Each structure stands twice: as C-alpha cells, then as structure tokens.
Amino acid sequence: MQLIVFGPPGAGKGTQAKLLSSYLSIPHLSTGDILRSKLNEKDEISIKLQSIMSSGNLVSDNILNQIVSEKIISKECNRGFILDGYPRTIDQMNYLNNYILNNNIAINLIINIFVDDLTIQKRILNRSKIENREDDSIQTIQTRVNAYNLETKPIAEYYKKNYHSVYYEIDGTNKVEEIQKKLREIVKNTNFS
C-alpha cells in the first residue's frame, strides 16, 4: 500500500506517518529526514543543502525527484511506503504522477493534515527546544509556511479534485492518539488491491 501524507510544517505529519509506518509495517519515507541524514556527509552537496534547509527554503526539485524515485522502486518498498514531505511542488507532483504511471504504482491514500498558522508557530517553536532543529527558529518559520502556502497547498487542491476517492482531510489540532485512531480507521476501510 502506498500513502502520501501532506500538511504544513508542524502539522504532525511526521509523527503520524511514523506511527502508521509501524502499524502497517511499511517504510516511512520522510524527505526531510533523508535530507538531514545527508547533511552528516559533510561534502560539497551537504554544505549547499545545509544553507538551503536552515533558511527554510525548498531544496531543488531534481534532487528530491531523484531521491524519491530511487527509493520507491527499491526492495525496501516492495510492500509499499508512506511518503512524508513529498511532493512539495507542482513540478515534483508532475514528476511523481509520471513516475508512478510508468512503474505501475498506485497511490491508495492521500492524507492531508491541516492546522492553523498560529498552532504551526507554537508547535515549531516548541519542537525547536526539544529537537534542536536549525530550521525551527522563529526567522525560518515564516519562510517555511510561505513555501508551503505558495508551492505545496496547490498540490493538495489538485489531489482533492483529481484523487477525491482516496483523499482525506484530518484536523491536526486534535490529540496525536485521536488522529492516529482516525487514520487507522481510514486505512481499514481502504481497498488496497
């Protein structure tokens, strides 16, 4: 089964995707996590990535398209995957649409977790204290929210319109356990054939 989890920064999509990943025993493909792990390599590319990510801007579509396309056809994903943080631009969405078509991969569920801007700010600031993520500072929150509203929100609209039978919206301000419960109900009611 193949899932896409959407939502603005701080919506809790990573938390929910992780829980769903262990429930379904399929990998959680967080492009943010994959990119952060590349930062440890300390080569030329990672220095560039570091500066883009710490400013809250988006990394180039080519890099993301390559990372995701390699992952989703890998052995690790032969029972499915949960995409978290991708696609994030129209270009990525078009790339993914073509790629899954050419590789005979179905998207079974698209989950959009929504939260208001004030909750996003509070959550990210709180997370910055716990996880010490460089891109969780007050200066970058606005950049990341703007990038989401400008680049990513239109994708959710596209999916809502064109994938309406597999598209669900979930209120991300509810408790983690409640959201997870709802997600598992949706999964149980989904035909994965």
For residue 71, give every residue at least 6 positions away whose Cβ sits within 8 Å of its Cβ, in sequence order, or none. Answer: 29, 34, 77, 81
52 binds ligand AMP per the rule CB under 6 A? yes
Q: How far is the CB of 140 from ligand AMP (least distance, A)?
A: 8
Name residue, tokens 């429930």: 23
11 binds ligand AMP per the rule CB under 6 A? no
How many other C-beta atoms can be found within 10 angstroms of the C-beta atom of residue 11? 24
Q: Which is nearer to ligand AMP, 32 or 80 (CB)?
A: 32
80 binds ligand AMP per the rule CB under 6 A? no
Calculate the alpha carbon distances from 32 to 64, 72, 92 in Å.
10, 16, 15
Residue nearest to ligand AMP (CB): 32
In angstroms, the CA 154 to CA 46 distance is 29
Q: How far is the CB of 193 from ligand AMP (least distance, A)?
A: 29
85 binds ligand AMP per the rule CB under 6 A? yes
Q: Which residues bind ligand AMP (CB under 6 A)?
A: 9, 31-32, 35, 52-53, 56-59, 64, 85-86, 88, 92, 135, 144
